[in-house]
A and B are shown apart, each in its own frame.
Chain A
Amino acid sequence: MNAPFFKFEYFNSEVSLIIAFIIGIAFGIALEKGGFGRATILSAQFYFTNMRVLKVMFTAIVTAMLGLYFLSVFGFVDLSLVYLTQTNLLPMAVGGLIAGLGFIIGGYCPGTSMVAVATGKLDAMVFVSGMIFGILVFGEMFPGIENFFNSGYMGNVTLPSYFNLSYGLVVFLVVLMAVGAFTAAEWGEKKMAAKSGKEIL
């Protein structure tokens, strides 16, 4: 067991900032290369005309999941030290709906909007300033919604612990789901292309 490195104090928090900076740059490059810096591609996902977002996300999820799972089975990673976000069911569902609306209307999610700002897209700059304004509004009204914000607390739940399944089974099911989603996405794109009569990127 020697990872996560930071939690095992292989480096201090100053060094961790430098590492975060490097990883952040790599992440930004990956997003831009994947075409995630363009609002048209991102919002096309919601009309099922271009399934790139789904494919990229699922690829990332499956790769990270298999990697983490096997590394921890082999004893290189202590999974219990990997940070889990707490679950507050209803507040998260409401927040997800709002974020989804913003995603369709604006064409970006928070991360991709930053990538688009970096490539000089005007709409992304407006999007980001709106986001910052929204954060300020949220901060101002937080005392009023604090109770709701903390409601539905479920702790650090994971699919295996919640459904009482073995970790291996969940890993397998997620892989199946991903491969299924890929096949469906490819098929759907062809259908959509035939319908609209034009080729899609």
Chain B
Amino acid sequence: MKIFWAELSLNKKLATIALTLGLIALFAGDPYGGTTIKVNEKDIALSTVGNADKVIVTELADWIIKDKSDFELVDLRSEEKFNEYTIPGSQCIPLPQISSSELQRNQKIVLFSDDDVESSQAWFILKSKKYKGVYILDGGLELWKEKVLFPKAPINGGKEELAEFEKMKEVAKYFGGQAQTDSSVAETKQEIKLPTPTVGTTKTTPPTGKKKKREGC
């Protein structure tokens, strides 16, 4: 055996090694380790410390205005609701489909639904599947409407608060909403029509080429 090996040329030796490893691979199993999930509960619990797993609605509005594209915005509600109104630039992945979605583990993912419940569920599913950068839009769409689309003027606010409100007015306009300067208007909030989704809403999975940060050669 030893003599046989020594007599082989380098190329043949390498070919033999490759073939042997290939043969072993036939029986060595799946490198992805199947679909069973081991959850490190401590790791998951720790990632909520200091609200590090949350994104504030005004922060998100800022990102969208600045055209930041290093995150995927995911609407977890039904397609019906998604078509009615959604945050610009989001894609619709209803919660039951989240585990079979095309989302990449290396992406920064911001989840939202009407409130925090569904996004928390999706957050846990993705976290347990070893997704790294999963975030919840704190307060969901409800808070988005309240803070970004229809911000209310501060009552007896100081100079700083008023300046902040002026800024928020512009932001609300950008997203097709309207700031509430009069408290009586706030009462009729239910009748305010939501802006129709026109600004770059992408439908379900196939991501548009330009929005994605590309990797590879």
Instruction: Please give me the residue from chain A that is nearest to B106 by CB atom.
Output: A7
* A192 lies within 8 A of chain B by Cβ: no
Are B102's CB and A155's CB within 8 A? yes
CB of A53 to closest CB in B, whole Å: 16
Are A168's CB and B18's CB within 8 A? no
* B209 lies within 8 A of chain A by Cβ: yes
A169 to B21, CA, bound (A): 12
Q: Which of B15, B28, B210 contacts A179 (CB 8 A)?
A: B15
Q: Which residues of chain B from 184 to 200 have a CB within 8 Å of any chain A CB?
A: none
- A-B contacts counted at CB < 8 A amount to 85
Chain B interface size band reads 20 to 34
Chain A interface size band reads 35 or more
From DSSP, what is the main secondary structure of chain B's interface residues? loop
Are A150's CB and B26's CB within 8 A? no
CB of B17 to closest CB in A, whole Å: 9
Are B105's CB and A70's CB within 8 A? no
**Chain B residue contacts of A149, Cβ below 8 A:** 209
* B36 lies within 8 A of chain A by Cβ: no
Q: Which residues of chain A from 59 to 78 have a CB within 8 Å of any chain B CB?
A: 59, 62, 66, 68-70, 72-73, 75, 78
Residues of A within 8 A of B (CB): 7, 9, 59, 62, 66, 68-70, 72-73, 75, 78-81, 83, 85, 111, 146, 149-150, 153, 155-156, 166-169, 171-172, 174-176, 178-179, 182
Q: Considering the complex of A and B, which 10 residue pairs feature the smallest CB-CB distances, nearest first?
A: A175-B22, A72-B31, A171-B25, A172-B22, A168-B25, A168-B26, A83-B215, A66-B21, A172-B26, A85-B216
